[in-house]
């Protein structure tokens, strides 16, 4: 579907209304995707990754400061 194309939107919605199987398939795929992205395990892993990057960045900054010296 082309964004902003209302004629295309009507066509796609009509096709979905006429196809219960396609609605079922798309619904199941959306549910799988939501569970992959927003499950507690996934959100926790993403949060851990953010903290790990922040810690690594801070450690890298401290390493540079140790070599260069603290600012006056």
Taking only the tens place, the pLDDT of each residue in 2-16 is 889 999 999 999 999
Domain ranges of the chain: 40-67
Give the per-residue pLDDT at 2.
84
Q: Is the pLDDT of residue 64 over 70?
A: no
pTM of the model: 0.54
Residue in the block written with tokens 């499950």 = 39
Residue in the block written with tokens 């450690």 = 59
Angle at alpha carbon of residue 3, lines to 30 and 8, rounded to 5°: 90
Residue 69: pLDDT band (50, 70, 90) is low
Residue 22: pLDDT band (50, 70, 90) is very high
Give the per-residue pLDDT at 16.
96
Helix axes 20-38, 40-68, angle to 10 degrees: 40
């Amino acid at each position: 579907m082309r964004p902003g194309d209302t004629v295309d939107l009507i066509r796609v919605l009509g096709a979905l209304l006429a196809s219960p199987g396609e609605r079922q398939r798309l619904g199941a795929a959306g549910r799988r995707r939501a569970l992959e992205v927003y499950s507690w395990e996934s959100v926790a892993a993403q949060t851990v990754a953010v903290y790990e990057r922040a810690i690594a960045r801070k450690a890298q900054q401290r390493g540079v400061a140790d070599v260069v010296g603290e600012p006056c």
